[in-house]
Amino acid sequence: MELNLAGKVALVVASSQGLGKAIASELAKEGTHVMLTSRNEDKLQQVKEELNSLGEGKISYFSCDITKPDEIQALLQKTNQELGKIDILVNNAGGPPGGTFEKFIDEDWQNAFELNLLSYVRLIRAALPDLKKEGGRIINIASSSIKTPIPGLILSNTFRLGVVGLAKSLAEELAPYNILVNTVAPGRIATDRVAFLDQMKADNQGKTRDEIEEASKKSIPLGRYGNPEEFAKVVAFLASDASSFVTGTSLLVDGGMVKAI
């Protein structure tokens, strides 16, 4: 299958580690020019060096706090200066803290809103002038909680669904510009975030993390956690010309874990 990603420009948010890094790596292998971004400049530099050897695309980075509108504008300007017009926007952000409803105050809710929903709105708004020129892709990374709530993650459960509503609405609004908008939801992918959540659950239940992980694997028909590269390949497909008739969809990458239809 020809993806035709070589020479395209992708802005991949939260790409210094985890799923974001895996997505940036997969796009780089296809010859895509990639702008990396996160708050950790040292990690960004390391990832840039790793990705430079993967393909013919140019790799750049810019440190950015995506909860700050002025830094988002600076990120978009830097991307245009370094790489040119944005063709692919991959929205991504670290998950909010775990906990139950009574644990959180207004500040927690506001912080989660700004990180996990409003940042996506702002990044799309900033990238839209570029995307409207010749069409493009907006891919929003969410969570399997868009299909079934995850106990102890009420902040994530709430705002990830907002991402789906945003994507479904924009898919219709932006279709005349040939801008395709989709949501990709990871299940249990072997990242530091999942390890942290497993440890939190283990601490709450008085078990080891290995015990929690083994129990989780039993709920997954494929019997294992996914690896970040498997998730990234799905995102690369949606970023490519091969997905030219796919928009407004929410795609689970979870090994069959979620049973909701």
For position 40, which CATH number holds? Answer: 3.40.50.720
Q: What confidence score (pLDDT) does residue 200 get?
A: 86
Instruction: Give CA–CA dist 7/145, Å, rounded.
Output: 34
Q: What is the mean pLDDT of residues 166-179?
A: 98
pLDDT on residue 145: 95
147: in domain:
yes
Sorted by sequence, the CB contacts under 8 Å of residue 72 that are 6+ apart come out as: 64, 66, 119, 122, 123, 126
258 lies in a domain? Answer: no
Give which of 58, 23, 57 is closest to 38, Cα–Cα.
Answer: 23
Q: Domain check: are 14 and 70 in the same one?
A: yes
**According to the model, what pLDDT value does residue 211 have?**
94
Q: Are 75 and 204 found together in one domain? A: no
Based on the fold, state whether residues 111 and 172 are members of the same structural domain.
Answer: yes
- pLDDT at residue 261, as a whole number: 84
3 inside domain = no
- Residue 163's pLDDT is 98
Residues 15 and 66 in one domain: yes
Q: Let me know whether 195 and 131 are in one domain.
A: no
43-58: average pLDDT: 95
> Of the candidates 226, 234, 114, 239, which has an alpha carbon nearest to the alpha carbon of residue 179?
239
Q: Is the pLDDT of residue 179 over 90?
A: yes
- Same structural domain, 49 and 78: yes
Residue 99: give the domain boundaries: 9-189+227-253
Same domain, 171 and 107: yes
Q: Are strands 88-91 and 9-13 parallel, antiparallel or unpaired?
A: parallel
Structural domain total, the chain: 2
Burial of 50 (0-12, 13-18, 19+ CB in 10 A): middle
> What pLDDT is attached to residue 140?
98
pLDDT for res 44: 98
Q: Are residues 131 and 204 in the same domain?
A: no
In a domain, 259, yes or no: no
Q: Is residue 260 included in any domain, yes or no?
A: no
In a domain, 198, yes or no: yes
Give yes or no: residues 155 and 51 share one domain. yes
Domain presence at residue 85: yes
